[in-house]
């Protein structure tokens, strides 16, 4: 999943599993760091960009966390909207039946 994470191709489910795993697995974190350095790092160096690899990677992981959090909030809102929708339909049905 590392190349797909770096190219931003992981879906929500895989992204959640990936960030969780990589933070608790030193081997995968090392692999991710190396691949990040090879990919991102070299292109930045070529551009003469003075950049902090460790910070860049941490920012990328934090971005992933933000995306996961946003996705969760959206899900809660969607579920709430659906629940409210069902409640509204039931209320209307009860009103129609009673009145
Ligand atoms: Zn691992």
Q: Output the CA 18–ligand 1 centroid distance in Å.
A: 9
Residue 67 is part of which domain span?
Answer: 2-73
pLDDT at 29: 95
In the chain, the N- to C-terminal Cα span, in Å, equals: 58
Radius of gyration of the chain (CA): 22
DSSP 8: T
The larger pLDDT score, comparing residue 91 to residue 51, is at: 91
* Residue 64 forms part of a structural domain: yes
Q: Output the CA 21–ligand 1 centroid distance in Å.
A: 6
Decide: 2 and 32 in contact? Cβ < 8 Å. yes
Model confidence pLDDT, tens digit, residues 30-87: 999 999 988 877 777 777 766 677 788 899 999 999 999 999 888 888 888 888 888 8
CA distance 49 to 38: 15
* Residue 94 forms part of a structural domain: no
* Residue 55 forms part of a structural domain: yes
* Residue 96 forms part of a structural domain: no
* Residue 68 forms part of a structural domain: yes
User: How many separate domains does the chain show?
Assistant: 1
């Amino acid at each position: 999943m590392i190349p797909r994470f770096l190219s931003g191709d992981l879906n929500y489910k895989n992204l959640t599993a990936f960030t969780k795993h990589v933070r608790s697995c030193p081997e995968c974190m090392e692999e991710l760091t190396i691949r990040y350095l090879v990919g991102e790092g070299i292109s930045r160096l070529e551009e003469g960009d003075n950049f902090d690899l460790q910070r860049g990677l941490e920012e990328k992981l934090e971005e992933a966390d933000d995306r996961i959090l946003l996705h969760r909030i959206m899900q809660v809102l969607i579920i709430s909207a659906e629940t409210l929708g069902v409640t509204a339909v039931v209320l209307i049905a009860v009103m129609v039946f009673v009145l």
